[in-house]
Chain A
Amino acid sequence: MPLPDWKTTRRGFLGGGAGAAALTAMAVPLHAQSPEPEPLENYAPEYFTAEEWQFVMSATALLIPSGPTPGAIEARVPVFIDLQLASGFGSADDWYMAGPHIADADPLLGWQSPLTPAEIYREGIAAVNAWCEQTHEAPFADLLPQTQQEVMTALSEDEVPLPPELRGLFDLLLQNTKEGFFADPKYGGNHRMAGWTHIGFPGARASFLEWVDKHNVPYPLGPVAISGERG
């Protein structure tokens, strides 16, 4: 698998802020309906600690890299995950959590951990960072991009030793990263409908009856969000 060129050290990200700001400024005339939110580097997480925030910033940037097209960072995926973990999803409000929990049961049997998603992130990030300290002498966010890639690959292949109740960390992170990239912007991610624009999804318009008989003609109009924001 080719490695992405884009790296996400804290320094690199801060340096890239100017470029991102310029990109954003160019995009404003198209959809200047809501004010630009707090830049990511100034964002005060509702759930994550500073260390966890750095981990999530680095990890999501690795999962959906930035390049000629927007990645997880431009789409503000970390904000989406932070807000979700601070809400009912994070505390598993809608889930059956009464047990019995057999954390090392066959994964095909579904969610077996006694921990909520928020707890999985909290304990899982701490465990991965501890493992990184142990093997690479730095927390995940401070590793070189190449090393981060290796750690993330190892995590995805269950080669980072985690207690069974945390084994869902990678799947959860990948799932939430995708959701943050493609969910409606009202949840904090998919900023300016970057994910939708990237794949040509027209958003919450949901009506294309006059196009059903037009074969092999690209649909020209940009997306619309639930809030009515136009892309």
Chain B
Amino acid sequence: MITFLRILTGLVLLGLVVLAAILFMPVRTTPALAALPEDYTPPEGSGEYAMRLADCSACHTAEGGVPFAGGRKIESPLGTIYSTNITPDEDTGIGSYSLDEFRAALYDGIRQDGAHLYPAMPYANYRKMSEADVRALYAFFMDEVEPVSNAGPETALPFPFNQRWGIRTWKWAALSEPGELSSTGDAAYDRGAYLVEAPGHCGACHTPRNLVMGEAGYTAMDGDFLMGGEIDGWTAPPLRGPDSAIRNWSAEDLKLYLASGRNNHAGVNGEMQLVVRDSLQYFTNEDLDAVVAYLRALGDPAAGDNAPPVDPPRTADRLDPSAGGTQAVLTAAEPGMALGPRLYLDNCNACHFVDGRGADQVFPELDGNPLVTAPSATGLIDTILNGAEVPSTTVRPYSLRMPDFGHRLSDEEVAELATFLRSAWSNSADAVTTADVTARRETAEERAAAE
């Protein structure tokens, strides 16, 4: 009995020591990755450009709010996280941050007061950002952004996630080593790797999460890196591997998609819409080429471009009357057809056509579209219910809007239509249930009500 008590006491003491260590052991922040002179001045414009590369504005700007003043809702699996004010306001922003404190937030997820930032802030990726870009960002936020006093809503996650000290243990398990990326000698590839892996933080959404909810890989060396993840219930498609849709895109298609959110196959959707709108469209031509070179090398388009044949000038000539399968059913337009294809003809066909191939740079292809066939049908359901919008960009100024069909279709009908789309043409994905649709409709209504 005494032995037992001794062991128990020992364990409790050990636990307390560990807890005390987590709570009170001073955190070591990552030092600068390169020594730049104290009086280093970032080149003109490099600050704003680094901000575009890191896409700070997408998260740190509320819907319709002042840029960088925070308050945007970020729906995380743990609950709603509100982004913070990163304007140089002394009280509510980051105006009193020193360069080292600023770097600690970017690299280590440490707030000025020492509290741990939720990993909604992608420090897991930013910790590979160059010192030059850190300096550029710091100079931009201190000198070029107007201070805005905006305290914003406080993030209040449920227990235990409100215990920020716990994030420290998460960091031990989930983060990779900070540091600059290794060079392969191929300048374009290396630049692309840097943009994608560090400031672009593509992996935050496109890399699957491991058991501790960390990214399952941080560089091209990791097999799971960019193999597809999830964001707010939507599937973020894989950017490499056999299931990657962009594998079949030409370099031109990929570049146009990044710069404008549209190409001959797809239209940007979901959270990626913000990435194109606030970040990618501002990339220089060289940086876009670098990202394309990197992604294509990563995706191993071994068979070359599998781009479909060039469309005939008259779209009607594309619609082969002898085609079978889905296209035959849609072309016949028999009144006795199943509800799914009937709903497609009534609602989708005018833009996406009976061959599911849409129109170049305007209407996305549905045949082989990763949003349609994603493991999670959430993105497809949300798009049918609420519509979608491809943003205006410099190279393609017109924004394109797909209308919402939620007012026109019942939950049963959306389920029928989505199920049809996921199995039409060459698509082959699971059916969608009415309950799936009802849940997404309720989510959209709750969010609209909370606005």
Contacts and interface: CB of A to CB of B under 8 A. Distances in A.
Interface of A: 33, 204-207, 209-213, 219-222, 224, 226-228, 230
Dominant SS among interface residues on chain A:
loop
Contacts of B316: 209-210, 212-213
B330 A205 contact: no
Nearest to A227: B408
B435 to A, nearest CB: 20
A138 B205 CA distance: 77
Closest 9 CB pairs of A and B: A207-B350, A228-B408, A224-B346, A221-B333, A210-B319, A210-B331, A207-B349, A210-B354, A212-B316
B413 A228 contact: yes
B347 interface: yes
B342 interface: yes
Nearest to A219: B333
Given A209-B316, A221-B335, A228 B346 contact: yes
B334 interface: yes
Given A209-B319, A209-B354, 14 more contacts: A205-B346, A207-B349, A207-B350, A209-B353, A210-B319, A210-B330, A210-B354, A221-B333, A221-B345, A224-B346, A227-B408, A228-B405, A228-B413, A230-B346
Given A209-B316, A210-B319, A220-B334, A228 B354 contact: no
Contacts of B405: 228
B438 to A, nearest CB: 17
Nearest to A231: B335
Contacts of A222: 335
Interface string B297-334: 00000000000000000011001010000000011111
B409 interface: yes
8 contacts: A204-B346, A207-B349, A210-B354, A219-B333, A220-B332, A221-B342, A228-B413, A230-B342
A139 B292 CA distance: 80
A113 B332 CA distance: 51
A221 B337 CA distance: 9
Contacts of B333: 211, 219-221
Kindly state the interface size class of chain B when it binds its partner.
20 to 34
A12 to B, nearest CB: 34
Contacts of B315: 209
Nearest to B352: A207
A51 B408 CA distance: 37
A35 to B, nearest CB: 13
Nearest to B409: A228
Centre residue among B334, B354, B408, B410 by max chain A CB count within 10 A: B408
Contacts of A220: 332-335
Nearest to B337: A221
A228 B335 contact: no
Given A210-B316, A210-B354, A228 B334 contact: no
A219 B332 CA distance: 9
Contacts of B354: 209-210
Centre residue among A204, A207, A213 by max chain B CB count within 10 A: A207
Interface in B350-392: 350-351, 353-354
A226 B403 CA distance: 13
Contacts of B351: 207
Contacts of A227: 408
A215 to B, nearest CB: 13
A206 B350 CA distance: 7
A32 to B, nearest CB: 12
A165 to B, nearest CB: 41
Nearest to B334: A220
Interface string B400-412: 0000010011100
A193 to B, nearest CB: 12
Centre residue among B315, B316, B334 by max chain A CB count within 10 A: B316
A33 B347 CA distance: 16
A43 to B, nearest CB: 25
Contacts of A226: 408
Contacts of A211: 333
A212 B353 CA distance: 13
A219 B331 CA distance: 10
